[in-house]
Amino acid sequence: MIGNDIVDLEDPDARPETFRPRFDERVFDVAERRSIVRDADPHMRRWAHWAAKEAGYKLGRQATEDFVFTPSRLVARFESIESEESGRTIRKGTLALPRSIAPGFGHLELRSDETSERVHVLAAPPGADWDAITEATEIVSADADPSDRVRALARFMIARDLGIEETRVAIGRRGDPRAGGAAKIPTALIDGARSGLVLSLSHHGRFVACAMTLRSDPDAVPRGTRSGAAGSGAAGGGDMNGCEAMRRGWGSTSPARNEVVG
């Protein structure tokens, strides 16, 4: 399971002057509010906490479709800054859940990737293999449909990492309409079949983002789709100019970085 959320810090909806009265009191617990106020950049820290809650909710919905989004009960705790490099700040953290979604599963691990323009947070189960997680962000044009763009980004990343034609990849949805309306949990399809790859999508303002765990369920990936080395390029060769992709080595303070420029 994986969850991700991105916040465009320059979007009007993210500016403090647009908040409804008592926003912080309603969505953050006391400790979170204290951390936000004391941070060197309260604006960025506020949205890191919010994105952690959204990412945790997306992961929770993958585990159980009756998982309810109650922001004040999804409590994020971030450790001190792990690394700062080229205008990027990386933090580790945890997200306490209001109830266990699996045996021994009462919290999530967090990774927050922050720049002056956006905050991107990933949530994963306790003990997750962060080296198996691929993430990507992209700035989209004002006239683009962010829902379409984030799915295009996910298709490109899956095809690239598996070394297959992008035309073989599609993004579907699953979910029980009786448990909260339309099916909204994204799934990766290869040759029209559920692949078992774990996928999370997000968009806000100018940014779209996706995260996936390519090794989470290896038996579920159809035979013949693996190319060996990740990032070798899809055979069909999609062009995602402006896309920034990472396969993170979270155990080090200097994560590996790949720029996808077509």
In tens, the pLDDT along 6-20 reads 999 999 999 888 877
* C-alpha–C-alpha distance, residues 191 and 246, integer Å: 25
Q: Which residues contact 69 (CB under 8 A, 6 or more apart)?
A: 53, 57
Per residue in 84-114, pLDDT tens?
A: 777 888 999 999 998 766 666 789 999 999 9
- 149 plus 249 within the same structural domain: yes
Average model confidence (pLDDT) across the chain: 80
Cα separation, 96 vs 131, in Å, equals 23
Please say which residue of 128, 143, 168 terminates a domain.
Answer: 128
Asked whether residue 183 falls in the same domain as residue 162, the answer is yes
Number of domain units in the chain: 2
> Per-residue pLDDT for 49 more than 60?
yes
Q: Which of 22-26, 66-70, 200-204 has the lowest mean pLDDT?
A: 66-70
Domain that holds residue 235: 133-260
pTM: 0.81
- What confidence score (pLDDT) does residue 219 get? 41
Residue 121: exposure state from Cβ atoms within 10 A (0-12, 13-18, ≥19): buried
| pLDDT at 184 exceeding the cut of 90 | no
